[in-house]
Amino acid sequence: MASPIERVLRKDRLVLSMLLAMVTALAWAAMARMAEQGAGGSERLMPCCATFGLIFWMWVVMMAGMMIPSVTPMVLTYAAVMRRRLNLGAPYVSSGLFLLGYLGAWSGFSLIAAFAQWALHRSSLLNPESLRVHPLAGSAVLLCAGAFQLSDAKLACLSQCRAPLGYFITEWREGRVGAFIMGLRHGWSCIGCCWLLMAILFAAGVMSLWWGAAITAFVIAEKLLPWRRLVIWAGSISCFVGAAALIARTAM
Amino acid sequence: MDPTPWKVSGSYYEVCNCEAICPCRRKGDRKGGKASYETCDFALSWLVEDGRAGALDLAGMKVVMAGTFSRDNPDLWTVTLYVDDEATPDQKAALTDLFLGRAGGTPASGFGSWIGEVRAVRSARIELDHTPDAQRIDVPPYLTVKTRERVPHDAQVTCGIPGHQFPGQEIRAEVVRYQDGGFDWEFRGKCGFASRFTYSSS
């Protein structure tokens, strides 16, 4: 029979999972709308006319939609530890701050990605229709991503991302500021893990929902499935196959 | 929260199935990292040398906690608490609340907040020997722990459970054998740590 604290922890988990799923759904809905507007030629979102701010915002929304699903276990663990520390007080505000810190880190990444997109467009290196770089440049990105998958740096960052309770046991910081900073720092190791996977979007099409969904699914698999090395290798091989396909297509 | 002020201090000894020196521990300026294996199975023991909860004397009491957590999933610790069978019902209640982090204070903002499920709280005969490099825990018929040797380290080693203000000695355990309910582990040559602890309500 579950004790009161176990029931409370279970309820927190349910409530927070639902909230996170809602935020994710909103982010994807916003992404779908932006992609549609882009494709529909409303031109508001086409790089030719989009302001830097708008491109940045698109990346922020996209990173939130793609990363919240796989950071969910971390937020749930944080909330459970916080619930215990607050002696049954509600952990929602500080859990929100943890998530905000995490998304803050990814917004930093988004700033760089948006600048890259803007710069590529200005130098006419980004196809204005598909938002892709030249296939050869795309294959170079994929080759880098595939190689990085197998690096020690990737493995080190990933093991940070994969140990929710361990992270809080060793990295705990007090208070609401602490929640934000822990989120920020965790986001930083996630970026170390995933930045090249996100760069693949420049090869696949920045606003491509399907590729976005595929990368999201892969990140979830990498962080949550038990067969860590198998998933890492599968990712690497997929990148190399993709690179070969792009090169073959250019050659034809 | 329990309004009764309390304070306990004494010696601390723990073992787990990580490789020595336990990756969770702080070594000098280096922060701790992640557990060696997918699952961390551990046994913690406290010998209260000096302790009081309100008017209740807790000196001489022994407490052991055995538990487990998975490195990769979001669950907190699942534990069973063993309280000295020489404790009176009042002492047992006080020790239980205190060491499960339910009485606030130091444990509640430390290891107490890592506890999710409490499988059971048992009164048991506990034999603790915290002699340096020859520590033993015996909680028949559940738990047996024997120290093999000390693990030399130049840097100061600390652990978050007794508190980082208490440097301690890393050891390697000869054997850790545990069986209670669904739990059944036995491992040899894995890490352990001996130190002091002081927990209080404020």
Q: A interface mutation test: which of B25, B27, B29, B72 has the most A CBs within 10 A?
A: B72
CB contact A179 to B (< 8 Å): no
Distance CA A18, CA A119 (A): 38
Distance CA A24, CA A206 (A): 18
Contacts of B109 in chain A (CB under 8 A): 85
Residue indicated by tokens 């508190």: B163
Q: Terminus-to-terminus CA distance in chain A, angstroms?
A: 66
Secondary structure in 3-state letters for B138-202: EECCCEEEEEEEECCCCCCEECCCCCCCCCEEEEEEEEEEEEECCEEEEECCCEEEEEEEEEECC
| B35/A164 CB distance under 8 A | no
pLDDT value of position A46: 55
pLDDT-derived band of residue A38, with 50, 70 and 90 as boundaries? low
Higher pLDDT, B201 or A226: B201
- Which amino acid would we find at residue B143? L
Mean pLDDT in chain A?
89
* DSSP helix, strand, coil percent of chain A (3-state; round to 5): 80, 0, 20
| A84/B118 CB distance under 8 A | no
In the predicted structure, residue A42 carries a pLDDT above the cut 50: no
Q: Dump pLDDT digits (tens) for B28-64.
A: 888 888 888 989 999 999 999 999 999 999 999 999 9
Q: Which residues 179-198 on chain B approach chain A with CB closer than 8 angstroms?
A: none
Residue B185 φ/ψ region, left for φ over 0, alpha for ψ in the -120 to 50 degree band, beta for the rest:
beta
Q: Dump pLDDT digits (tens) for B67-108.
A: 999 988 888 999 999 999 999 999 999 999 999 999 989 999
pLDDT-derived band of residue A39, with 50, 70 and 90 as boundaries? low
Q: How far is B3 from chain A (nearest CA, A)?
A: 13
Which neighbouring-strand residues pair with B168? Answer: B157
- Which amino acid would we find at residue A81? V
ipTM over 0.95: no
Distance CA A92, CA A88 (A): 12
Q: Dump pLDDT digits (tens) for A46-103.
A: 555 568 888 999 999 999 999 999 999 999 999 999 998 877 678 999 999 999 999 9
Candidate ranges A15-19, A117-121, A157-161; pick with highest mean pLDDT: A15-19
